[in-house]
Structure 1
Amino acid sequence: MTNLLATVLMFLVVIYFQGFRIDFPVRSKTIRGEQGSYPIKLFYTSNMPIVLQSALVSNVYLISHVLYKNFGRYFLVRVLGSWKASSSRLVTASGLAYYITPLSSLAATADDPIHALKWIDISGSSAQDVAQQVKEQRMVILGYRDENLPKVSNRYIPTAAALGVVGARSR
């Protein structure tokens, strides 16, 4: 019964925080008077990339685990992924399988910032990606020049993306 209540509570908390966002006011470069907003959600990464990533990770895990179990001494197999025992289960220790795995907590983000940065870049949700999307739509953020878009995006997106990674892991 406790697990059911914890699941319901987590579900409600995630739904509540899913609504939090910061809106960048944007305007069109080409159409005079055209304005809008570009929302940056607290849980920045959406569910669809998480579902697709989970399917990819499952396949890489399976292949990596089988190869490592049978041919773990070979360099190319270890590049795909190496495994170690952790509290009665096997977890990725290094390699491709490790870096495509979402982080498990904010503490894990602090312990391995390179892993966190790779995860954000792989998901296509980095500040540079957002700045490029705004430029491709021929929009600008009000009060900022085009060349400052990545800098402005960098204020909010890494935090939102990291929380999205941890939030996706808890869902």
Structure 2
Amino acid sequence: MLALVTTIIIFLVIVYVESTRIEIPLAHTAVRGARARFPVKLIYASVLPMILVRVLQANIQMIGMFLSNAGMTILGEFQGQHPVNGLMWYIAPINQPQDWMWWLADLGHAPWEILLRMGIDIAVMVLGGAIFALFWVKTAGLDSKDVARQIQRSGMHIPGYRRNEQVLVRYLDRYIPRITIIGGAFIGVLSVVANLFGVVGAVGGTGLLLAVSITYRLYEEVASQQIMEMYPFMRGFFGKE
């Protein structure tokens, strides 16, 4: 029941924050009266940074397991693929309620140790989400410079500002970096909450966030295709020829 409630809450929160955005007004240079808005979403970098964080954690755990199997237990000991003590246990991600609810079963660790592990996991997901969100925006061509260049090529500009790419960059810098960090940290919190309380199925918190986000963005892609059919001049703005 707890997993079902968590799944429903996470689903509703993701749908809500996906629709939360700052809309930057745009006007077309050649087509008089043609206006549009560029949305800067709260989850601007999507959920993919969380996957990068989890991959990094998995690689660190793999190194610890390799050392443990080789007889070097300085970072902790493993039973199978799971750490049981040492640094590797503290930095291991929490994937289900049974990993931290010490009052339901004997976990072999004191409550303060479990709470410390939870704090580390939350810090890693929040800080890692923010850092990897910035990294993803830079590498995926979603930063202020790339967006400004895209707006310029589409023939759009911000009303009341000079039609200059550097002006656009400075304007977008007011929003994109800050929203990227906030959104990455927020997704990190959601992912941790989903893992702590469990979700329906075996997808995990990050998997649920990714599934909901992809579904919502597919809906938006269909909507953008309809807009381009109605207003062909918008194809350049959406990166279509």
CA distance in 2, matches of 1:12, 1:115: 24
**Secondary structure class of the residue paired with 1:36:** strand
Give the alignment of 1:21-32 within 5 angstroms.
21-32=21-32
CA distance in 2, matches of 1:19, 1:117: 20
Cα root mean square deviation, aligned: 3.8
Shift >6 Å, 4+ stretches: none
CA distance in 1, matches of 2:91, 2:177: 33
**Secondary structure class of the residue paired with 1:104:** helix
Q: Find the counterpart in structure 1 of residue 34 from structure 2.
A: 34
Flag the structure with larger Rg: 2
Pick the aligned partner of 1:89 from 56, 71, 92. 92
Consecutive unaligned residues of structure 1, counting only runs of 5 or more, are 71-83, 91-102
**Secondary structure class of the residue paired with 1:87:** helix
CA offsets, 1:85-115, max 9 Å, x none?
252638xxxxxxxxxxxx611xx26xx9866
Q: Find the counterpart in structure 2 of residue 163 from structure 1.
A: 182
CA distance in 1, matches of 2:180, 2:186: 9
- Residues 45 and 156 of structure 1: CA distance in aligned 2, closer, same or farther (over 3 Å): same
Q: Find the counterpart in structure 2 of residue 80 from structure 1.
A: none
Count of residue pairs brought into register by the alignment:
140
Contact 1:125–1:161, Cα closer than 8 Å, also in 2: no
- Residues 44 and 114 of structure 1: CA distance in aligned 2, closer, same or farther (over 3 Å): closer
CA-CA distance at 1:14 after TM superposition:
1.8
CA offsets, 1:19-60, max 9 Å, x none?
11111111112223322111111211246xx29x949x859x
Q: Give 1 or 2: higher strand fraction.
A: 1
Consecutive unaligned residues of structure 2, counting only runs of 5 or more, are 68-86, 94-123, 192-208, 210-241
Contact 2:45–2:136, Cα closer than 8 Å, also in 1: no
- Residues 46 and 144 of structure 1: CA distance in aligned 2, closer, same or farther (over 3 Å): same
Give the alignment of 1:100-111 within 5 angstroms.
104-105=125-126, 108=127
CA offsets, 1:122-168, max 9 Å, x none?
23321222111111212111112223111111111112222332344
Percent of aligned pairs with the same amino acid: 28
Q: Find the counterpart in structure 1 of residue 8 from structure 2.
A: 8
CA distance in 2, matches of 1:15, 1:113: 20
